[in-house]
Structure formats: structure tokens, C-alpha cells
Amino acid sequence: MNIDLTQACPVLRNRTEENDREKGRIPVKCRQRNRFIPVFLIGVAVLSVLSLLYLEIDWLKMASRVGDIGVVFWDLAHLDFSNMDLILSSLVETISIAVLSLLYSLILGIVFGMLAARNVFRIPVLSVVTQSFFTFLRAVPTPVWVLLMLVCLGMGPEAGVAGLCVHTTAFFTKSFAQSFESIPDETIEALEVTGASRLSIFMNAVLPAALSQIVAWAGMRLETNFSECAILGMVGAGGIGYVISNSLQGYDYGAAGVAILLVFLVAYCIERGFVRIKKKFS
């Protein structure tokens, strides 16, 4: 039976199969497998082990202090509402910074996305230059930009908004350009022959077609922006992050617990709201 089968369809033969047959075993696996996956898995495992060794983490010391984590959480759970007005006002400030930076970046992102998309102005140099510039901006993490803005502009929400804007704009530029480019060339051609200008084609065909995606990207980014904004305080800008790091360092765990809980609740609400909207309009 074995022999019959291979003779009937010689395609079945390949090396591993023949190996198996010599041992008297029938192979079961696919002929064309993605041989890259095992290589990838082994590579990742080796790199991760090397990384762990390189970090030289003192596991014993960490393990001996695991109990302390429980103590800290216990302390955090003793919520202390005495500083509520300060915590709330800094939370509002954080949310405002996140929203403002999102809105400014939305406008900037559409403008730069228009420049970066290859099918809007059809000037390859322009889109390549815009794209590589924003790739650089995107590669540097947000808190670094905020740090720089703090140095340039001094303390205050301005630095937060400006710093967040850099990264968010860069993110939007890339994703909006992608959305714009996903519009079929035929559509644009059809409008071109009517004699419409490049800008009016963009405003009337490309932008409306990409609008639902833009809304989706904006919703997704609001989540990220809020959590980024919440940690800005920890690198020196104001807002809820400052309250958290300050009260943790001052052993005021009750206040820190309240602030962390609020950060979680707001982030959770944004996530749920976004999931809802997505479900409704998908």
C-alpha cells in the first residue's frame, strides 16, 4: 500500500518523507511548511536567555522582597480621600492635555498626511522627505519630547501639549497617509479627468473616504495619549503623574492609591467607550 501510493503520485516524494519511509513511518505533516517559524522561535529563545543573563538581575534579592509588594498594595488599598481636590484638578489637567494634544495633532496629521501620501500631490520627493522626517519623530518616545519641551518652554501644560503633539502628529501622519493611499487610483483618476484641482480632489474624495478610519485612529490614540500623559508627571511635568510619583516617594500611599485608581478608571472608560463606538459603526 505504501509503495503504491508513492508510485501513483510521485509528487508526494520529498526528502523528509523519504527519510521517514526508510524508517517505516508514514509522514503526517504538510509538504510546504513555513520553515521560518522554528528558526524564529529558536532565535527568540536564545536572544531572550542572553538578554536575561546580560541584565544580571538579582533574583534572590527580588524574591526576598516579594512580600513587600503585598504590603505596598495593602497600603495603596487604604484609599485616602483627604487630598481629593488636588488629585481631581490634576486629573482634569491630565485629561485636558491629552485631549488638546489629540485635537491639534489631528489637524496637523491631516495636513502632513496629505503631504506624505503618494497619491495626493504626486511629488515623490515631498512624500519621501515628509515620511522620513516623521519616522524619526516617531522613533523617539513621547516622554523624551516632553522632557525637551520642558527645557524649552518651562513648566506648565504648554510643554505637555507640545511634547505629546510631536509624537501624536508623527503617528497620525503615518496612519493617515496610509489611509489616503488605500483609496483606489481609479477614483482619483475619475476626478482628475473632470478637471478638479489636486486640493479639491483631496477635500472631496480622499478625505471623506478616509474619514471613518481617521475617527477610528483618533479614538485609538486617545487611549495611548491619556496613559502617556499620566506618566508625564513622573518625568517632571504636572498632572496626575506628578501626584502619583510625589505621594509614592513621600510614603503617602493612600493618596497614591486614589490617584492610580482614577487613572485606571478613566483609561478603562475610554477603552470601553471606544469599543462601543467601534461595535456600533462597524
Partner 1 sequence: MTKRIPLIARDLKQLYTGFLIAAVALFIVCSFLTEFNVMTLIANGDAFWEFITQDFLPPALPKASRIPGVLDSVVVTLALAMSSTTIAAILAFFVSLFGSEKVSPFPRFAKVVRGFATFLRNIPALVWAFILFSSLGIGTGVGFVALCITSFAFMVRAFVETMEDVSQDCVESLQAVGATFPQRVSQAILPSCLSGFLSWYLYCLEVNIRASTIVGMVGGGVGLTLFSYIKSFRYDIALSIILLIAAMVIVVDQITGKLRKELLK
Partner 2 sequence: MKPILKFDNVSKHYPNGVHALKDVSFEVREGEFVSVIGPSGSGKSTLLRAINRLIPISGGTVWLDGQAVSALRGRSLRQLRRRVGMIFQNYNLVYSLSVLQNVLHGRLGYMGGVKGIFGLYSEEDKQGGLDLLEELGLADFAYNRASDLSGGQKQRVGIARAIMQGPKLLLCDEPIASLDPSSAKTIMDLLRYMTRRRNIACIVNLHQLDVALKYSTRIIGLSKGEIVFDGPPEQLDDATIERIYGTSRENLMMGGNRDDQTDTADCA
Window 131-150: residues binding partner 1 (CB under 8 A): 135-136, 139-141, 143-144, 147-148
Which of 84, 268, 273, 278 is the binder for partner 1 (CB under 8 A)?
268
31 vs 65, beta carbon nearer partner 2: 31
Site string for partner 1, 168-197 (x = CB under 8 A): ------------------------------
From the list partner 2, partner 1, none, which binds 234 (C-beta under 5 to 8 Å, kind-based)?
partner 1
Amino acid at position 152, single letter: C
Out of partner 2, partner 1, none, what residue 170 binds, judged by CB under 5 to 8 A for its kind, is none
Residue 24 contacts which entry, partner 2, partner 1, none (Cβ below 5-8 A, type-dependent) = partner 2
* Contacts to partner 2 from residues 11-30, by CB under 8 A: 11-12, 17, 24-30
How far apart are CB 6 and partner 1 at their closest, in Å?
26
Alpha-carbon gap, residue 82 to 133, rounded angstroms: 47
From the CB of 6, what's the least distance to partner 2, in Å? 11
3 contacts partner 2 (rule: CB under 8 A): no
Lookup result for grid cell 511548511: 33
Q: Which is nearer to partner 2, 4 or 56 (CB)?
A: 4
Binding residue (CB under 8 A) for partner 2 from 1, 3, 139, 193: 1
Instruction: Provide, rounded to whole angstroms, the least separation between the CB of residue 10 and partner 1.
Output: 26
